[in-house]
Amino acid sequence: MSADNSEPGHGNSPAAWTAIVIMLVAFSVGTIAFFFSIAWLVWASAGFVLIGLLVGNVLARMGYGVTGDKSFGKSH
């Protein structure tokens, strides 16, 4: 049997992966900085989480999102 999968991918795109990697690294660095009480690095990491969100949004608008024309989608 063949299942018709019309699911858009839910983040399986270069824009989503780039945003998540940036935010994951920033969150990890911020957690370590919080443990060592380095306040400026905690706040800088929080800023990089926001930058990751912005980068993902810009890349999606450039066509690298789930429905973008430059994205590698699933070929059926």
The pair phi, psi for residue 53, each rounded to 5°, is -65, -45
Residue 76 pLDDT grade (very low, low, confident, very high; cuts 50, 70, 90): very low
Segment 59-74, tens digit of pLDDT = 999 999 888 787 665 5
Q: What is the mean pLDDT of residues 34-45?
A: 98
Residue 74 sits at φ, ψ, to 5 deg, of -75, 130
The pLDDT value recorded for residue 3 is: 59
Residue 9, pLDDT score: 58
d(CA 8, CA 40): 39
Predicted TM-score (pTM) of the model is 0.79
